[in-house]
Amino acid sequence: MISAYFREFELRLEDAKIIADKNIDFREFSATEGMLSGRLLFVDGSMLEFMEYLKEEKRLKYRFHLINKEGNMVFRYDNAPHHRDISSFPHHKHLPDNVSESNEKGIMEMLDEIETLISNAMAIREKSRVR
């Protein structure tokens, strides 16, 4: 049920300590089809713009675009049908300098990855401040 997925996402957001602000749109087209989209602003000033279109527990379309506080791309995962030369086609990850292979991604995995990035950056800043 799509409503259960939406609720799981809402609960995950409540646990996330790195989110400063959010703007989320939940669209339920039927009991098994829906779209989740929006923006998450993180405590470090970075922002994730995202969209997932799901039907019958399959992620038909997705896009997760993370930019830093300066507005520069950190990464973007999507399954747009381009980059046919990548072995994980249509799934791929854009980085500032290249496009690489990727598994299919969902919003929960994005939150995990971004939490790790922010936590690691904060730990590095803390270590340099202590010295």
- Site of tokens 């520069």: 72
Cα atoms found within 13 Å of the Cα of residue 43, Cβ hemisphere only: 11
Report pLDDT for 125: 77
Instruction: Determine if the pTM surpasses 0.95.
Output: no
pLDDT in 10s for each residue of the chain, 131 residues: 899 999 999 999 998 889 999 999 999 999 999 999 999 999 999 999 999 999 998 999 999 999 999 999 999 999 999 888 999 999 999 999 999 999 999 999 999 999 999 988 878 777 777 66
Beta strands in 1-131 (DSSP E): 19-30, 33-42, 47-55, 58-67, 73-78, 92-94, 99-101
